[in-house]
Chain A
Amino acid sequence: MTVTQRRDLLQGTLDLLILRTLRTAQPAHGWSISERIQHVSHDVLQVNQGSLYPALHRLEKQGWITADWGVSELGRRARFYRLTAKGLRQLERETRTWEELARAIGRVLELA
């Protein structure tokens, strides 16, 4: 079954942030991804965990990230995510789309 999901802006943005985070720091587990996004954005972006995990599972199903079980710094079983080649391409695509969008909004804010 192929599910074509129409994602709203926010959800799409979360995907972008996850992929981008994984590109610099991987493998990473869910908690560290959310911490990192929060930290890098100087606590502007608070990642809602209620959307984080479904998003991770969705990205995994799309084949953009993969997950492996490993042992964390706490010595517990944890799930580590990693970007795939497909995911990297998707990240580039989404980054471009985002930049175009941001530029467009910027122009509107400036000139309209």
Chain B
Amino acid sequence: MSGWCPWRAWARLVGRVTRADPDRDLDDETEFHLAMEARKHALNGLDEAEARRRARLSFGGVARVQEECRDQRRWAALETIRRDVVDAVRGFRRDRGFTLTVVLTIGLGLGLNAALFSVFNHYVLRPLAIRDPYRVYALSWQDAGGRAHSFSWQEFEQLRQDRTAFDEVAATRFLVSRIDGHPMQGQFVTGNYFQLLGVKPALGRTLLPDDTRVPLQGFVLVLSYAAWQDSFAGDVRILGRTLHVHGVPFEVIGVAQPGFDDLGDTPIQYWAPLTAAPVVDGAGDFFSSPRPEVVRILGRLRPSLTAAQARVGLATRMRVMTASAPLSERSAGVLLQSKATAVTLSGELVAVGAPLAGAFALVMLLASANVANMLLARGMSRQRELGIRVSLGASRGRLIRQLVTESILLALAAAALGVVLSEALIAGAIRIMFDTMPADLAQIIHTEPIHVDVRVFAFTLGAALTAVLAFGVLPAFRVTRGDIWSATRGQLSSTVSANRLRGLLATGQVGVCILLILTAGILLRTATAIRRFDVGFKTSGTVVIRANDASHGRVLAALTARADVRGLAGAASTPSNGMLPSLIVSAPDRHVSLGTWYNDISPLYFDLIGVPIVAGRRFSNEEAAAGSPVAIVSRSTARQLWPGAHAVGRELLIRAESARSRGLPPYASVRVVGVADDLVTCCVVLGKDPAIIYFPAPPTRPGLSLVVGVPGDADRAAHQLEADLAMLAPGAVEEVHALEQYVAAGVYPFQAASWIVLALAGLALTLTVTGIYGVIAYIVAQRTKEIGIRVAIGATSSAVVRLVLQHSLVIASVGLVGGMSVALMAGLLLRARLPFVNPLDLAVFAVGGVVVLLTALAGGAIPALRASRIDPILTLRND
């Protein structure tokens, strides 16, 4: 046999597994027949050579007979596929430019979508690295008002005894902390936590029930694998080392298995016994006091129960347990949240994720439309080839199978490219994110490596096949339906409807493109508006420091003693903090109730952040020290409670139960002593606080954040203060940030979102240009003869250009009208949902429209120029 043929080798291999070598068998059988036939002739007296010749003659073409036998065999189907594949590859090689463009276009769209899906997969679909994750649930309960609650220690003890729903339960308490200067999130857990989850140590041991005995000899902790690698360089001598959490020494006893960083809410860097929590976070002795809601509960569901059954039992149990509590703290139902994956798929997640996924999918759609156009154009120009094949006996089904095989091959190549691209995109996006994010935010954000797994691969392949088949089979049917007989004779059918289809695809592209551009534009304007927004306080020259409760006094004294500190104040929530507690107040003289945020502040707070008191006065030091029943309200709060009247001196009632559950000062009625100007205490995105009430607190009260006035650059001052305080009281400081960083962190998500959509819009624009180019170029190629005639009878080249550009303008305007109407309708629905977003921004609409029109002209320009250079003599002679 000459040369090595991979297909034959493969057939051999298959043959060996399923049956004897089919090719050799066929040879043997033929050979045997010829020998018998030759012998017959030899017996009749012919010489041997002549006998063999006659035998061969009567047999006919040996190769042809064998081929026919092969066709009868089982693997004839494989043979057909092989032929299709070989043909397709040959075709691709002939048309390298086309193949490369298709694979790149689809691959790009796929890469984007695979990257997004990878993230989704990593958090929502991938089961956590724990034992039997689908039986692990987090438990919480709701009061009648729908507010979610966690548990007191006593409640946990009762549930631990109760085995009706869970085989085993563990309690956890989360803590944001610093260890040796690294910000680290800790989870304080009961001793059975690691056994319950089935998590093994990578080094040393995990926590055991004995570690949570009270009293303790010494505190221990287990590091996460990632923290061990990142912060301690994977040093095996970490075992036995002492680390300080909030200044309390812990001995490192182990490192958890790689890939386990707790149950997904936020990556955890270390686990320590729950019994150490009160010492570290100053929560007091919560094991004996009935202080509410100190731990969260995690359980492993009994194998015989479904989550719904368990919920019913637990709901009854919780109702009994909270029966004696005040009405607002009675259980009205329980929530069981699966901990099988890092993030549970919920309605909210879908609401947030769907627009993003939609934008990505639209880009994929654009890419697919381009490919459909390319396949259609290629199919048209291949009509002659297909016609010849039909005349040689190929059935329509056979032709379609051939075209579909080509599509599948393209899809496979595109899927491979997409997977590679998605990894690069994720890595790149994470790098860009960390480079552009406010420095202090980057410090506390941890990302996990996101990898392509089977699910991502299946998704990519599925998407590639869907895209290519949906957009490749359509052209296949179209092409093979044409009058192939006339195509054989070289008459290319004009196929008006195919042109219409291509025009429609390009129009759709323009519509999608303008949608993405408008979204990007509106988000950009929003981000700019937020950045320029007057937050109502002085952002520069201020540093926020939060010390742990035990060290609060020491840190305060150290700061007071410093010469470079311009001023000091305390606040429970510092400006642009991201979240605020709330309560319900009422004005007895007006019979109005108001849900409002509240904040505890020391007297100098407003002076330090530059917020004017617009009426009345600030708190006095005496009021702060004594916790007097006085309050300052914000200007907008005053307006809502006492519209058109003075607020100072009036009485304000605090709903008793709402005060008690929050551990508020024990007074029900406070007197308003001042009105402060509005500012952003919660979130920049929500604008200035709609309603907020301030209560007095001395700066010495543990738990308050310290607002420190510093000269010069606040970031530099923050680093200096952090270094100095770390020397003075190691582990005492939890957070040190310039106030500007909080504002920047609030703005960042919007900036990031606008960049992502802008990138998508840019990509969409590119795809649309090429899409329009493809359509127009094809139209020009088809109308070459007509244009030649026009030129011959006197059309100027500018008239020809106009003629061609008209096409792209029609496509663009129809697409624009469609896309903009969708955008307008969506805008009308979304208007006034968020304070900064203006979905009907006319400037954005105008700019977007002009950009898309220019794009359409650009896409038509090259074919138009080409058309204007058409030489009528050449064109007409060609015919």
Looking at A13-21, A49-57, A85-93, the stretch in contact with chain B turns out to be A49-57
Shortest Cβ gap from B541 to chain A (Å):
79
Are B65 and A76 in contact, with the CB atoms below 8 A? no
Residues of chain B within 8 A of A32, CB atoms compared: 36
Q: Number of residues in B with C-beta < 8 Å to the partner?
A: 26
For residue B68, CB closer than 8 A to chain A, the reply is yes
- Known contacts A1-B77, A48-B60, A53-B30, A76 near B68 by CB under 8 Å: no
Are A78 and B32 in contact, with the CB atoms below 8 A? yes
Q: Which residues of A contact B (CB under 8 A)?
A: 1, 29-32, 35, 48-50, 53-54, 56-58, 61, 69, 72, 74, 76-79
User: B590-610: which have CB < 8 Å to A?
Assistant: none
For residue B25, CB closer than 8 A to chain A, the reply is yes
Q: List 6 A-B contacts (CB under 8 A).
A: A30-B32, A49-B58, A58-B72, A77-B28, A78-B29, A79-B32
Are A57 and B32 in contact, with the CB atoms below 8 A? no
The 3 closest A-B pairs by CB, nearest first: A57-B72, A50-B60, A54-B68
Residues of chain A within 8 A of B29, CB atoms compared: 30, 53, 78-79
Are A54 and B77 in contact, with the CB atoms below 8 A? no
- Complex: A75 Cα to B66 Cα, angstroms: 23
Residues of chain A within 8 A of B58, CB atoms compared: 49
Q: Which residue of B25, B35, B59 contacts A74 across the interface (Cβ within 8 Å)?
A: B35
For residue B73, CB closer than 8 A to chain A, the reply is yes
- Complex: A72 Cα to B64 Cα, angstroms: 25
- Complex: A32 Cα to B69 Cα, angstroms: 18
For residue B33, CB closer than 8 A to chain A, the reply is yes
Shortest Cβ gap from B771 to chain A (Å):
38
Residues of chain A within 8 A of B69, CB atoms compared: 53-54, 56-57
Residues of chain B within 8 A of A69, CB atoms compared: 20, 25
Q: Which residue of A30, A50, A57, A72 contacts B61 across the interface (Cβ within 8 Å)?
A: A50
Chain B CB within 10 A, most for which of A53, A61, A76, A79? A53
- Complex: A57 Cα to B30 Cα, angstroms: 13
Q: Which residue of B32, B59, B66, B71 contacts A77 across the interface (Cβ within 8 Å)?
A: B32
For residue B74, CB closer than 8 A to chain A, the reply is yes
- Complex: A43 Cα to B74 Cα, angstroms: 34
- Of all chain A residues, which has the CB nearest B69? A57
For residue B735, CB closer than 8 A to chain A, the reply is no
For the complex with contacts A31-B36, A53-B33, 10 further pairs of A-B residues with Cβ separation under 8 Å are A30-B29, A30-B33, A49-B33, A50-B59, A50-B64, A53-B66, A74-B39, A76-B32, A78-B29, A79-B28
For residue B37, CB closer than 8 A to chain A, the reply is yes
Are B72 and A61 in contact, with the CB atoms below 8 A? yes
Residues of chain B within 8 A of A50, CB atoms compared: 59-61, 64-65, 68
- Complex: A35 Cα to B33 Cα, angstroms: 11
Chain A CB within 10 A, most for which of B59, B69, B73? B69
- Complex: A106 Cα to B764 Cα, angstroms: 76
Residues of chain B within 8 A of A54, CB atoms compared: 65, 68-69, 71-72
Are A49 and B59 in contact, with the CB atoms below 8 A? yes
- Complex: A69 Cα to B25 Cα, angstroms: 9
Q: Which residues of B contact A (CB under 8 A)?
A: 20, 25, 28-30, 32-33, 35-37, 39-40, 58-61, 64-66, 68-69, 71-74, 77
Residues of chain B within 8 A of A57, CB atoms compared: 69, 72-73
- Of all chain B residues, which has the CB nearest A57? B72
Shortest Cβ gap from B718 to chain A (Å):
73
Shortest Cβ gap from B83 to chain A (Å):
15
Shortest Cβ gap from A16 to chain B (Å):
17
Residues of chain B within 8 A of A61, CB atoms compared: 72-74
- Of all chain B residues, which has the CB nearest A77? B28
Residues of chain B within 8 A of A29, CB atoms compared: 32-33, 36
- Complex: A55 Cα to B731 Cα, angstroms: 89
Residues of chain A within 8 A of B71, CB atoms compared: 54
- Of all chain B residues, which has the CB nearest A5? B72
Are B68 and A31 in contact, with the CB atoms below 8 A? no
Residues of chain B within 8 A of A53, CB atoms compared: 29-30, 33, 65-66, 68-69
- Known contacts A31-B33, A31-B36, A78-B29, A49 near B72 by CB under 8 Å: no
Residues of chain A within 8 A of B32, CB atoms compared: 29-31, 72, 74, 76-79
Are A76 and B35 in contact, with the CB atoms below 8 A? yes
Residues of chain B within 8 A of A56, CB atoms compared: 69
- Complex: A43 Cα to B155 Cα, angstroms: 102
Residues of chain B within 8 A of A78, CB atoms compared: 28-29, 32
- Of all chain B residues, which has the CB nearest A29? B32
Shortest Cβ gap from B54 to chain A (Å):
12
Residues of chain B within 8 A of A79, CB atoms compared: 25, 28-29, 32
- Complex: A72 Cα to B72 Cα, angstroms: 25
- Complex: A77 Cα to B69 Cα, angstroms: 19
- Of all chain A residues, which has the CB nearest B29? A79
Residues of chain A within 8 A of B36, CB atoms compared: 29, 31-32, 72, 74
Shortest Cβ gap from B68 to chain A (Å):
4
- Of all chain B residues, which has the CB nearest A31? B36
- Complex: A54 Cα to B62 Cα, angstroms: 12
Chain A CB within 10 A, most for which of B29, B39, B61, B77? B29
Shortest Cβ gap from A108 to chain B (Å):
34
- Complex: A78 Cα to B25 Cα, angstroms: 9
- Complex: A31 Cα to B36 Cα, angstroms: 7
- Complex: A102 Cα to B77 Cα, angstroms: 36
Residues of chain B within 8 A of A49, CB atoms compared: 33, 58-60, 65
- Of all chain A residues, which has the CB nearest B60? A50
- Complex: A61 Cα to B40 Cα, angstroms: 30
- Of all chain A residues, which has the CB nearest B33? A31
- Of all chain A residues, which has the CB nearest B24? A77
Residues of chain A within 8 A of B61, CB atoms compared: 50
Shortest Cβ gap from B71 to chain A (Å):
7
- Of all chain A residues, which has the CB nearest B78? A1
- Of all chain B residues, which has the CB nearest A59? B72
- Complex: A51 Cα to B64 Cα, angstroms: 10
- Of all chain B residues, which has the CB nearest A32? B36
- Of all chain A residues, which has the CB nearest B61? A50
- Complex: A61 Cα to B77 Cα, angstroms: 13
Shortest Cβ gap from B410 to chain A (Å):
24
- Complex: A1 Cα to B81 Cα, angstroms: 12
- Complex: A30 Cα to B31 Cα, angstroms: 11
Residues of chain A within 8 A of B64, CB atoms compared: 50
Shortest Cβ gap from A47 to chain B (Å):
10
- Of all chain B residues, which has the CB nearest A60? B72
Residues of chain B within 8 A of A76, CB atoms compared: 32, 35
- Complex: A74 Cα to B58 Cα, angstroms: 20
Residues of chain B within 8 A of A58, CB atoms compared: 72
Residues of chain B within 8 A of A74, CB atoms compared: 32, 35-36, 39
